[in-house]
Amino acid sequence: MSSATSTTGTNTTSSRRKRVVVFDYGFGNVRSAERALARTGAEVEITHDYDRALNADGLLVPGVGAFAACMKGLTKARGDWIIDRRLSGGRPVMGICVGMQVLFARGIEHGVQTEGLDEWPGTVGPLKADVVPHMGWNTVDAPADSQLFAGLDPESRYYFVHSYAAHEWTLETANPAMRAPKVAWSTHGERFVAAVENGALWATQFHPEKSGDAGAQLLTNWIETL
């Protein structure tokens, strides 16, 4: 259940292409993610194989649909164990859309609470806006020293499709020697978390694989850190 497809790109930072696994657990735009990552020059594989996902240079976890369904699919494929083991060893993981949401402690949909991966404290809940879902292009307010958004115009727009989001960021770094998380925000009706850089764990609520040149640059920035 794996396929390796990519072509040599122009944005590589070393002679060895970075090997990235797009984790296929049944809930994500895996082909779109594969194509977008291939643009960065990475060697991309779509698989749910435990060892290959665990040992890749980078692991990308997509996600679409309901929080509870994604969590069920992810745990069935042992994705929760893979993510935890990678992060324990400081190995990069990136979540996209619901693949970001499940990194929080819990999600609430239609009044039903589902436990998340609890990599970050907090709850993912409904967006309060005149129009839901939030579907289309929007700007992101990113920290000035962000690595994820490095080289990108602050007015760049990214593609969002979601009805739920994390509305607060509560994780604080107690150890001053540790790098504090970088949190980017966007607004649709209300302010919500749009992206996070937290050590080896990065994530976006929007879809970089559908965000044109800005999304391609963002993924390149991630690949260059692997």
Torsion angles phi and psi, residue 81, rounded to 5: -70, -40
Contact 116, 98 (CB under 8 A): no
**How far is Cα 94 from Cα 92, in angstroms, rounded to an integer?**
7
Contact 127, 166 (CB under 8 A): no
Bond prior to 143 in cis (omega within 30° of 0): no
- The answer to whether 207 is a known catalytic residue is yes
Q: Out of 48, 134, 188, 207, which one is annotated catalytic?
A: 207
Q: Out of 97, 134, 188, 197, which one is annotated catalytic?
A: 97
Q: Which residues fall within 8 angstroms of residue 201, CB to CB, at 6 or more apart?
A: 87, 92, 93, 94, 95, 103, 119
Sign of the CA dihedral 48, 50, 52, 55? positive
- The answer to whether 209 is a known catalytic residue is yes
> Under DSSP, is residue 63 helix (H, G, I), strand (E, B) or coil?
coil
List the end-to-end C-alpha distance of the chain, in Å, as a whole number: 25
Please give the positions annotated as active site: 97, 207, 209
